[in-house]
Amino acid sequence: MARKTKNLQQRSRFIILTNGRESEKNYFEALRGFRRSIYDVKVEFENAAPPRLVNRAIREKENSNQVWVVFDKDEFPADAIYEAMKSARQNNVGVAFSNAAFEVWLINHFKEFNSEKSAGDLLPILDLLLKDNGYSKGYAKNDTDVFRGVLLPLIDTAMHNADVSLQKRIAAYNQTHPGERSYPYCEWNSCTTVHKLVEAMKLE
C-alpha cells in the first residue's frame, strides 16, 4: 500500500522551478489558487543560473510527473541559455523561457507582443497597460494583487497571443532553416514560451 501511495504521489506531482524571486514565483502561486490543475502543483524559487536550475530540475524528475523551469534571457549569456535548454530537452524537463524578461508573458495578457525591448523597457509598457485597464497602481514586481485581480482572468488571451507570436517566429525561421528544430530563442526579442507550461498544467 505504501508503494502504491508513493507512485500515486509521483504521478500527480508537478514542480515549477524558477529563478525569478518575485514576479514569476508570485504569478504561478496565484495561478495555482486561481484555477485548479489536475496535478499537485508546487512552485519553488531557486537562486541559480539556467544550467544549475535545470540540474536541480533533473534531480526532481525522479519523484515527479513533470518538472518545468522558468527563466528569462536577462543578462545571461546565450551559450548558458542554450546549454540549459539542451540539457532540459535531453532529460525531459520543460522550459518556460522569456526574452527579454517574464514581463513579455504578462504583456501578452493584453495584446500580442513581439517588439524588441530590453527588460527595463518592458516595465513601463506593462505599467501603462494595467492603468489603461483600470488598475491604478500599475505594475510592481512584488505586487501579488495584480495577478488575481487583473492578469489571471485574461490567461486564455495570453496563451493565444503568446502562441501566435511564437508560431510566427518559428514559421519565418523555418523558411530559411528547413528541418531545423533548435530555435534561436536568444535572438527572438521579444518572445515567450510560458504558455506551454500553462498548457501542460492542464487547468480546469
121 pLDDT more than 90: yes
Q: What tens digit of pLDDT does each residue of 14-34 get?
A: 999 999 999 999 999 999 999
**Per-residue H/E/C for the chain:** CHHHHHHHHHHHEEEEEECCCCHHHHHHHHHHHHCCECCEEEEEECCCCHHHHHHHHHHHHHHCCEEEEEEECCCCCHHHHHHHHHHHHHCCCEEEEEECCCHHHHHCCCCCCCCCCCHHHHHHHHHHHHHHCCCCCCCCCCCCHHHHHHHHHHHHHHHHHHHHHHHHHHHHHHHHCCCCCCCCHHHCCCEECHHHHHHHCCEC
Tell me the per-residue pLDDT of 42-81, one tens digit each, with 9 for 90 and over.
999 999 999 999 999 999 999 999 999 999 999 999 999 9
Q: 45 with 70: CB under 8 angstroms?
A: no
165-179: average pLDDT: 94
- 75's CB contacts (< 8 A; 6+ apart) are none
pLDDT above 80 for 9: no
How many C-beta atoms lie closer than 10 Å to residue 10's C-beta? 13
Q: Residue 74: which of 185, 200, 196 has the closest Cα?
A: 185
Using alpha carbons, select from 68, 165, 49, 50 the residue that is nearest to residue 107: 165
Instruction: Identify the pLDDT of residue 180.
Output: 85
| Average pLDDT along the chain | 94
pLDDT digits (tens, 9 = 90+) for 94-104: 999 999 999 99
Phi/psi of residue 45, each to 5°?
-95, 135
Q: What is the predicted pLDDT for the residue at 10?
A: 58
